Structure formats: C-alpha cells, structure tokens
Structure 1
Amino acid sequence: MSKSYVVISDTQCPYEDKKAMAAVIRFIGEYQPDEVVHIGDVVDFPQPSRWNKDTKGEFEGSVFKDVEYTVKNLIAPLRAIYGGDIGFLEGNHDLRPREYLAKYAPALAESHAFDMDVLLNYEEYEIRKLPDFYNFAPGWLMTHGHLGKIPLTQNAGATALGAAKKFSSSVIMGHTHRLGIGHFSTGYGGAVSQTLTGMEVGNLMDMKQAGYLKGGAANWQQGFGLVHVDGKHVQATPIRISGRRFVVDGVTYNV
C-alpha cells in the first residue's frame, strides 16, 4: 500500500511568504496526501533569540502574538481543508522560547509552557509531535537539519546528501532554505548494493523580511517536497516555486 507525504519547512511565521504558503495549503487541500509533515522552523520567534539578547529587540513583540498569528495563518487554514495526519518537527527557531525560559527562568521551565506542542496547541488541531529524527520509511528519515552535527554546504541538496552518508540513511531535511536532491550509490561487480538520497525541501519564507540579509539575496530556493512510499521504494521529489507558480503531475498551481 502506497503512502504520500507533502513536506514543508522554514515558514518562519510571521516572516513567511504569505502567497506562497497559502498556495501550498490550497495544493494540500486539492492533493489530499496521506500525511503532511512540517520539518521545522514553523515560527521565527525573533524576540527570544540570542541575536536579540540585551537589546531592545528582546522586549519587542510577543511570543504569544507570533503563536496566535501562526495558528490563524498556517495551522487553522490547513486544518480547514485537510483532515489527514499532520506532524511537526522542532527546528532551531522553534526551540528558542523553550531554551530562553530554561536559561533565564529555569524555575518556570518545568511548566513546559513554551514547548511548541503547548504553544501551538497540537492537541486541539490534532498535530503529532514528531521526533527529531523521524523514520517514516525503511532506510529513510526526516529531520530539520540543525541536529546531528550535519556539515552545511552551499550546494542545494549536498547538505542532505552529506547527512545521508553520515547517518547511513536517506535524509529529507530543511534548515538550509535550499531546494535540491542528490544521490550516492555504492556496490561492486557491476551491481549497486545501496543508494542513499539526500533532499532539501526549500523554504516558504519571504526573503525581503530577513533583516539580517541587509537588503541582499541569499542562496535560498522556495519550494516543498513530495514523497511517495510503496513498501521499500521511496520516490522523493523537490517541488520548486518559481515565477509565482509550481507544477505537480503536469498541473500548474499559481501563487
């Protein structure tokens, strides 16, 4: 029995590309995959980041305001048109509130009030809290990419492929904001004994809102991943958003 997944990453609400994210949500509603996985950096959470410590930015905005925004603009619209399985992994931005509380108010940390599943109310929206390394098929895992000491490269897909070699498992990841796929095969006697795949699923962020780029452009690509699993066979496909549109199975979706 086959199973399909739509994999998204790095929305970083409230700095998402609103039109791109809305288009992907509409696509999910039409495509109706068996599972939707957000593999991390759901929310940006700039206030409790180390970049803002001891600056006025530490006290501007609100963790709860950003959570409310994310529920209103990502989670609720997705749930309104999709009743299937949804799973979230935690990215390095998502853990900022929890780490901040643990470091500066440890007596309050045991309340778990700043854990992502509590902040975003996973229970109400029937979202599964996925492990940092989500083994979704034989020899395949999904992870955000900030854990496991994965060396970063500038070539799209190469970071995930490096992680696949490191873990001896095919890897689907985010974190780099890049979109690409690579493969590495080994064997002898003219026969391939193993092929590892690494896929990076891009981002749905609005680059213009990334203030740290100071008006520049980064080596990022918008997109998401489409994965089909049939037993031990896994087909992973990066879907690029370019020119305000993307194409899946010959159908063009406008952003």
Structure 2
Amino acid sequence: MPKRKMVMSRPIKFVAAGDLHGSEQDDKTVKALFSFMTEFKPDLVVMIGDLWDFKAIRKGAGEEEQASSLQEDWVAGEEFLRGFFSFGDDRIFLRGNHDERIFDLAQNARSGVARDYANDGIENIESLMKELRARMFPYDSVSGVYSCGSLKFVHGYGHAMHAAKQHADAYGNVLFGHTHAIDYFKSVSIDSREAWNIGCLSNLAPSYNRNNMRRMRWQHGFAYGLIHLEDKSHDVFLAKQRGGKFTIPTQVRSF
C-alpha cells in the first residue's frame, strides 16, 4: 500500500505590539506597523498592553496629570485598536498596568461619581472588544497570560535591567512589553526558556519621565513571526526602528 502523505499545517503568522499609551503614541511608528501588517498579513494579532495611558486617573496623579484629557487618550487608543484589529482572525488584548487603572478606579474610588465614570469606561472597553471580536485578559501575572502553541504573551511584570531574564525564568518562551526597551534573554535550562522584550509604540521622551535614565533604553519596535503547532516550535523576529525608519523583511520561508 502507498504510504499516506502527512499534511503539514501552515504556521500561524503573528504580530505583537504594545505600549502605545493613547495620545502619547508615536505616529510614525504606528504608520510603519500598519504598513508592515498589510504586507505580512498576520493570522494572530496581540496588543500587548498599555493601549491607553489614563494618566489623569493614576493613583497619586499631580494637578497637571489630573487636568489631562481622558477623551483624547481614549479616542487615540480606540482608533489604534480598530486599525490593529482589522488584521488577523485571532485578536488578543492584554491589559497593561496603565489600562488597569480604570478597572482599579471602579473598585477603589471613594467618590460615587468617579466609580460610575470608571464603570462607564469599562462598559465602553468591553463593548469595543465585542465589536472587534477580540479576547481581553486582565493585568495579572497569572491570569493575564495568553498562550499559543509554544509561545506565551504577557504585558510585563518587571522593568529592571534583567526583566528579560525574569520573564524567561517565570514563563518560558514569552514575549512582553512594559519596559519600552528591546531586549532578549535565553535561560540556562533543559527546556526552552526565551524572552523577547518588544519595544514600544509611544513617544520616547514624555515630559513625565524626563528625569528617568531608564528611558535611554527605550526603542520603537514590535515583534512578528511564526508559530509552528506541528512541532511546537516558533520563529520570533524583533522589528527595530533605526535612523527613524524600519527595514523589515515581509516574507518568511523555510528551507
């Protein structure tokens, strides 16, 4: 009898991006991301968190932050998400610590007006997820993890210089944001434990962070690649802005 041919499933093409921070976004980086996605045609898109900044409702916010426009922040984040989630069949939104502020306000606000405002905002977010057919995960180091094949995606739960190592040790093969930096670490381990810190889509010099040296590590970037379900492997690539532009291959082939 002739041998039956094994049919190999097509790998899942993915794009992961995050740390937009609403109205703090870098327009040139966002434009480059969408141009790349148009050519790459991902199956899976992951918004890795901090879609909004929500600085006005930050715990301990100063007068200047409290006076900032939540409406402008909301509109910028929503417009980005509509564009980002126009790609892919699977759409994932991992809330970041900034996004979580409105959920925290709904739980902890002493003012009834603030609590009602926060609950209205949460309803808007949930309606947006339903409209865009997206799955949303909380900002939580355990339940805020999205897995696909051999890869995990989280917003990020550490921001020190060894954040990539911390995430590799904790999650195995994982992509994360939060630090706004681009970094990579592979653990010494019998099982595969690699972490990719994927950069950000936001302004690299916000006024609120001008005295923080950590922002010298910030870079515009995002991640893309392939997830192979057949052999539980993956190919991850980091897109980095250099000289004000992105130079990225849009075709990936196996040999």
- The TM-score, its normalising length taken from structure 1, stands at 0.80
Structure 2 regions of 5+ residues with no counterpart? 1-8, 138-142
* Larger deviation, residues 30-39 vs 63-72: 63-72
Q: 2:44 touches 2:88 (CA, 8 Å); kept in 1?
A: no
Q: 1:112 touches 1:118 (CA, 8 Å); kept in 2?
A: no
Q: Does 1:93 align with 2:98?
A: yes
Q: Does 1:220 align with 2:218?
A: yes
Structure 1 position 110, deviation (Å)? 11
Q: State the AA in 1 paired with 2:58.
A: S
- Return the alpha-carbon distance in structure 2 between the equivalents of residues 185 and 215 of structure 1: 32
Q: 1:95 touches 1:116 (CA, 8 Å); kept in 2?
A: no
* Cα deviation digits, residues 216-242 of structure 1 (max 9, x gap): 753211100113111211112211111
Aligned counterpart for 2:136 among listed residues 125, 129, 154? 129
Q: Does 1:19 align with 2:28?
A: yes
What is residue 49 of structure 1 aligned with on the other side?
Answer: 58
- Return the alpha-carbon distance in structure 1 between the equivalents of residues 57 and 48 of structure 2: 21
* Larger deviation, residues 87-96 vs 105-114: 105-114
Structure 1 regions of 5+ residues with no counterpart? 187-192
Structure 1 position 184, deviation (Å)? 2.1
Q: How many residues align?
A: 232
Percent identity reads 21
Structure 1 position 214, deviation (Å)? 4.7
Give the 3 Å change call, closer, same or farther, for CA 51–111 of structure 1 in structure 2: closer
What is residue 114 of structure 1 aligned with on the other side?
Answer: 121
Q: State the AA in 2 paired with 1:181.
A: Y
What is residue 191 of structure 2 aligned with on the other side?
Answer: 194
Q: State the AA in 2 paired with 1:227.
A: G
What is residue 78 of structure 1 aligned with on the other side?
Answer: 84
The answer to which structure has the higher helix fraction is 2
What is residue 160 of structure 1 aligned with on the other side?
Answer: 164
What is residue 245 of structure 2 aligned with on the other side?
Answer: 245
- Return the alpha-carbon distance in structure 2 between the equivalents of residues 79 and 89 of structure 1: 13
Q: State the AA in 2 paired with 1:23.
A: A
Q: State the AA in 2 paired with 1:235.
A: D
- Return the alpha-carbon distance in structure 2 between the equivalents of residues 220 and 56 of structure 1: 24
Q: State the AA in 2 paired with 1:12.
A: H
Structure 1 position 119, deviation (Å)? 6.2
What is residue 5 of structure 2 aligned with on the other side?
Answer: none
Q: State the AA in 1 paired with 2:167.
A: A
Q: Which runs of 4+ in 1 moved over 6 A?
A: none
The answer to which structure has the higher strand fraction is 1
Q: 2:105 touches 2:118 (CA, 8 Å); kept in 1?
A: no
SS of aligned partner of 1:227: strand
